[in-house]
Amino acid sequence: MTTRDIDETVRAELNRLRESIDNIDAAVVHMLAERFKCTQQVGHLKAEHHLPPADPAREARQIERLRHLAESAKLDPAFAEKLLNFIIAEVIRHHEQIADQPDPPEQPA
């Protein structure tokens, strides 16, 4: 069976749901972009003060926090943890890149 063979009311409902999914996907992308803007600022602050790119204690707290949020939202906590681990790895990669950049020259006062 193809989507052309589906009853028109079913097709309309399918399209409505898919539009909602598309809107949610767009919101997720925009939220991730905002999150990475913040983590980039953290990376620059860490580099400026010679702090390590990773903070395992904070990461563990965040994972535990997200697992609890996922449970209360009826989302698989293991999935939420995998997603956050993926994001954390990307953040650490960015922080390492920032830390490896040469210091900008001092600006005259």
Q: Which tens digits make up the pLDDT trace of 25-65?
A: 999 999 999 999 999 999 999 999 999 999 999 999 999 99
Q: Which helix (H) or strand (E) holds 14?
A: helix 8-48
> What CA–CA distance (Å, rounded) separates 44 from 92?
12
C-alpha–C-alpha distance, residues 11 and 13, integer Å: 5
pTM of the model: 0.81
Q: What angle do helix axes 8-48 and 77-100 make, rounded to 10 degrees?
A: 40
pLDDT of residue 107: 57
Sign of the torsion angle spanned by Cα atoms 12, 18, 74, 69: negative
